[in-house]
Amino acid sequence: MKTHTLLMPLDMHLHLRDAVMLENVAPLTAYSFSGAIIMPNLVPPVTTLEDVKAYKKRIMAAVPNDFFEPYMTLFYKNYDKKFLESVVDEITAIKLYPAGITTNSEDGVSSFDIEEMRPTLEAMSELEIPLCVHGETDGFVMDREAEFMSIYELLATNFPNLKIIMEHITTKAAVDMLDKYENLYATITVHHLILTLDDVVGGMMMPHLFCKPIAKRPEDLDALLNVALEAHPKVMFGSDSAPHPQDKKEACGCAAGVFTAPIALQLLCEIFEQYGKLDNLQEFVSDNAQRIYGICPEFKEVTLEKRTFVVPETYGSVVPMYAGEAIAWAIESVD
């Protein structure tokens, strides 16, 4: 049976939610990943040192038997340097959401006035705190990410020493930005390496494939695959695994988010093997992230086996991507 081993897999964009949902989903990531960048868009959002410490404590309580590091983030506000100095040792990044653009982002940035943002972003540059960005405007849904490229350019040129992560990119336009600015990086999800909009709404609406940013065109998928499969040094895996209760997904006003945490590594093996690029998966799922963020994750060796695995219909109250379907790889062991 064919196997493939990954060392210290990292998920550089993860939603764990809180309370019962946190207790349900956190162990699923902690089992197979050494660490993850934890998104701060709770209700209310994570904006203080006390919030960070308390949320990390709740995460660790949910995964007491796993070697797993939650890399904590703050929800972006115009923080002053003194405050950032007080939290720099407790966080790995700060996450910026445009106001109202996705789940629990109502308190996000409503105006990208560079001068208003300058004190915070200059302090982040000096303290070497990366800025993670959900890069979408409020324009036509298929154009939102491409329209945001001008804001990335504004940020990259005004703050050349600020490490900026374009989160969960979905377009060729974002891929093209990677080599234009030295301080721009990106995460890519597993579902955006598989789906186009046609998979989501081309036939019956598929609520468990609906996410923001929405899956795009075939040419965008091709561009994402190209940089991921080659393990471009400025891209890394970030699942954007976003759990919602089944009744919130299979409902009018379907919640945005694809839940992939328990099957992400298996799907990545399938994709990279399909294109003859399995040797590049280690860089995409760990090595690049370690270098970009300057982190040293908990040791974990994950061995995957090429054998049929039927995805469970649910994990607690959450329906995963490909629920009830067979995928080609399974996790054999974690050491």
- Which residues are designated catalytic? 240
Under 8 Å CB-to-CB from 130, ≥6 apart: which residues?
A: 92, 93, 94, 124, 162, 163, 164, 165, 293
8 A C-beta contact, residue 184 and residue 177: yes
Q: What is the spatial distance between Cα 8 and Cα 43, in angstroms, rounded to a whole number?
A: 31
| Alpha carbon distance 107, 44 (integer Å) | 9
Q: Determine contact, residues 19/313, Cβ cutoff 8 Å.
A: no
Helix/strand number for the chain, H first, E second: 12, 14
R_g of the chain computed on alpha carbons: 19
Q: Which amino acid is at 252?
A: C
158: which 2 tokens?
Answer: 């005004």
Question: How far is the CA of 31 from the CAs of 9, 34, 51, 214, 321, in angstroms?
Answer: 11, 8, 25, 28, 18
